[in-house]
Chain A
């Protein structure tokens, strides 16, 4: 239980003021002594009274609707405040034991299920769960909308959530450790290997500049060959893939594509990544998740790019 009594300006969760102390009329030294005792007495009395003090209580029944949200909550030590998680939560292992609350993409979410956990905070993702906002506002349920589409926005999100759940210290520590991890990667100012991230084939789909994986590739020292496209996940022409001569090809593990099948594609033999067999199958649950493990992701990708 986290019931603190603090002065807080930025969060509208409560504010306290202290009463001014009264005085009495005795001789100076005794008067001073009495003054001090009374002051002390009143201070401790004020500290215990509940009349004009508003407690700040942090949410105790958080429902997380995305796997990255669950990871962040557990990483900052808020696990005891979480009541239910998204079905696709797979990390950390302790999170998978919590009750599940439906799919990630909104189509299979049941508002009833969410409400059955009596949430005082629902942790949602922008773009996926916006349709729930109106309902929650009408029920008076607080929500946090994650806009994590870049690394900087994840940092902001971790800070926000740490504040809201009352784990500022752990949040700051987490941020520090992630930033430290990111700084350990060796970047080459003059050379960024060209990277092709394949979401699927037939039709060929890659990641554009708006996507999260684009940010990861850039921070790891690479250059996404389709970073000139604005869309999130554009369908791209095979000709462009070949002409852009990627030096590293990344295939998400869930797509089922093998590096052998990539090498056998007609016309792809001229691509440097195919020639040098730099085709890597990566865990896309880790790579595309905007959560606390991005440091680990960037370090892993950096190793792949520069080996």
Chain B
């Protein structure tokens, strides 16, 4: 669907402004952290300073910038974009402003995978198995199993969607209910494993809260492919999502294959959320808040909602991670806590607005 001229202008202006804001936050994320660094020195300084009589001291600014902050900022941008994008897609498809990919149980599946890996100490055992050895170079066992858990949870839902051939409203609702029920099951299993395990589990608790701490180039390389697949699918179904605005039956009469669309929505969400969780753990609310803000600015058309949501999602998560790593430095908060705290004023404003109208 083509945009009207005014819509298009508004979209372009918002796009430009949001990209500028994203860039500014990106630079901020690179400059801020628990240690003070000099960006100029980091980029153009010597690799190591040589002073007489002592060992050459390495250029910490460069190490921190290139190895730690840069990949972490990129991961935050990617994860934020994926979460917000799939949130927008879900809200468009289910025609509900409170929809987000977490409701079909993918995040809970990821948590179950991570908890299982953590408790079974799979890190030690897997490293000795040949085929896993090469994968483990890229990703930690916990993140790998979180990814697998999320994908499996997504696959189960997609298979269920495949089997439900009718495109009545009921089948969509049924799938949502199944997803929610399965999500609850995965959470319960995670809790069961955690409670009966004998290990110190402070680490998995922090993982569950959602943090980019310790993630860098390896994680970025690992999540690149699923992210690209997800983004391509999301953009390819943009127009069809708009046609759903008046309901599934009218969309069907306009030529949309709702079943196929449903499956594509679920697949893109599965890949997006798995990749995002691998990048930063289970982070909540980004998929809800970003599309809502964009909707207020430029309306609910998919062509504007999707790309702008992704940019706003990136901005949000980048901001949250920067706050998380500076506010109690040298200690760090999980970024997931910051986004949850942001979620509160969001929901309050939503509530206050609806009661006013």
Instruction: State the A residues within 8 Å of B (CB).
Output: 87-88, 103-104, 107-108, 199-205, 226, 229, 231, 233-240, 242-243, 254, 256-258, 266-267, 270
Residues of A within 8 A of B198 (CB): 87-88, 103-104
CA gap between A206 and B333 in the complex, in Å: 14
B325 and A243 contact, CB distance less than 8 A? no
Partner of A267, one of B68, B121, B127, B143: B68
Q: A199-B200, A200-B203, A270-B58 are in contact. Are A237 and B325 (CB under 8 A)?
A: yes
B68 and A201 contact, CB distance less than 8 A? no
B332 and A108 contact, CB distance less than 8 A? no
Residues of B within 8 A of A236 (CB): 330-332
Interface presence of B217 (CB below 8 A): yes
Which of A204, A236, A239, A266 is most buried by chain B, counting CB atoms within 10 A of its CB? A239
B34 and A240 contact, CB distance less than 8 A? yes
CA gap between A88 and B198 in the complex, in Å: 8
CA gap between A8 and B214 in the complex, in Å: 58
A238 and B214 contact, CB distance less than 8 A? yes
CA gap between A201 and B332 in the complex, in Å: 13
Interface presence of B202 (CB below 8 A): yes
Residues of B within 8 A of A107 (CB): 195
Residues of A within 8 A of B121 (CB): 254, 256
A203 and B199 contact, CB distance less than 8 A? no
Counting from the closest, the 10 A-B pairs by CB-CB distance are A203-B213, A200-B203, A267-B67, A240-B330, A256-B124, A270-B58, A237-B34, A202-B214, A234-B331, A256-B123
Residues of A within 8 A of B64 (CB): 239, 242-243, 267
Residues of A within 8 A of B143 (CB): 202
With both chains docked as a complex, state the minimum distance between the C-beta of B320 and any C-beta of chain A, in angstroms. Answer: 15
Interface presence of B108 (CB below 8 A): no
* A–B Cβ pairs within 8 angstroms, 28 of them: A199-B203, A202-B140, A203-B213, A226-B330, A229-B330, A231-B331, A235-B206, A235-B333, A236-B330, A236-B331, A236-B332, A237-B213, A237-B329, A237-B330, A237-B331, A238-B68, A239-B33, A239-B330, A240-B34, A242-B64, A243-B35, A243-B60, A254-B199, A256-B123, A258-B124, A266-B67, A267-B67, A270-B63
Q: A239-B34, A256-B123, A267-B67 are in contact. Are A202 and B60 (CB under 8 A)?
A: no
Interface presence of B142 (CB below 8 A): yes
B196 and A203 contact, CB distance less than 8 A? no
Residues of B within 8 A of A229 (CB): 330-331
Residues of B within 8 A of A254 (CB): 121, 199-200
A200 and B202 contact, CB distance less than 8 A? yes
In chain B, positions 109-153 with a C-beta closer than 8 Å to chain A are 121, 123-124, 127, 140, 142-143
